[in-house]
Structure 1
Amino acid sequence: MNASLLPTGSAYFLTQETATPERHTLSVLVDNEPGILARVVGLITARGFNIESLTVSETEHDKRLSRITLVTVAVPKTLTQIKLQLERLVPVHKVHDLTAEGAALERELALIKVKGTGEHRSETLRLADAFRAQVVDATTESFVFEVTGKSSKIDSFIALMVPLGLVEVVRTGLAAISRGPEGM
């Protein structure tokens, strides 16, 4: 018998953990002070969860506040624990689960270097135009494109650049904000 289903003197042994991990975007408003990023990241990674995306920037200079936007995958029960523990950290002001709160706006920026010679050069430019990628550097042998949008859009553009001579990719990580008139 499965060890998690053995009787323990409680009826709770009858339920099996069937929740599947979900991808969530968390927005955390913190004091901009040394060590806070390490504490937030440590809290999540100590529980064995990977951070898929992480961005941090000062958002209110006068108040010395920064916003940490992170994406992780966890079962709902664990995600609730993570949020509650984040809220208890002293320099944390607010924690929002943008995924649970509804449709949030999510964008990412990528710089993508592609070889661009011969007949591939015109095809590369045509596809970049279709994806609204901006040429931020060009030589006779290569391009560097700036692409912004949903992560899936950037993934698609990168996949199309591979056979055309993809050299290198740099991504910022996800920036996200909730919709509507309310702020964090």
Structure 2
Amino acid sequence: MTEHALLGAAVELAAGEGVLFTGRLSVQSRSQSWLADHVVLGRVVVAGTALLEMVLCAGEGVGCDRVAELTLAAPLVLPEVGGVRVQVAVGDPDEVGRRSVGVYSCPDAVGEGVWSLHASGVLAPGAAPGDVGFDGGVWPPRDAVGVDVEGCYEEFAGAGFGYGPVFRGLRAVWRRGEELFA
């Protein structure tokens, strides 16, 4: 078992060193009702950060505390009624300890074997590489200019993105050239 809000169990694979993390997502679940606060074009879509969080949990479970790469393949849309089963599949480690990872789902109402890929990537052991060209100790970033965020959630809603209270954390934004900092 895992102590994660979205993943309830982990199973080592018999044929190799891979591990499968599983869970079930539903907006009707009392502990997951917050998922309904992320709406895109009228449908509840699991936020990309939630997919990343599941991948991070799986990585920590196999000794890889860094997501080296993650590509979102398709949105994970939740049904109004029922839920979806999710699997985070972590592959065998390579010669340097990196592991492939994939996030899959299957609606409750569909028969066995109908799984969709939502994200794939690579997990890696150890800390992230050092210099990323950003000094987190200086805030706001040097040479960045404040951007007005008043009414941004109304603008997002007009474009089809509905963010409920759980997803309304944006307080300030700064721009430096093409870069945005929030």
TM-score (norm: length of structure 1): 0.23
TM-score (norm: length of structure 2): 0.23
Greater helix share, 1 or 2? Answer: 1
Asked which structure has the greater RCO (Cα within 8 Å, sep 6+), the reply is 1
Higher gyration radius (CA): 1
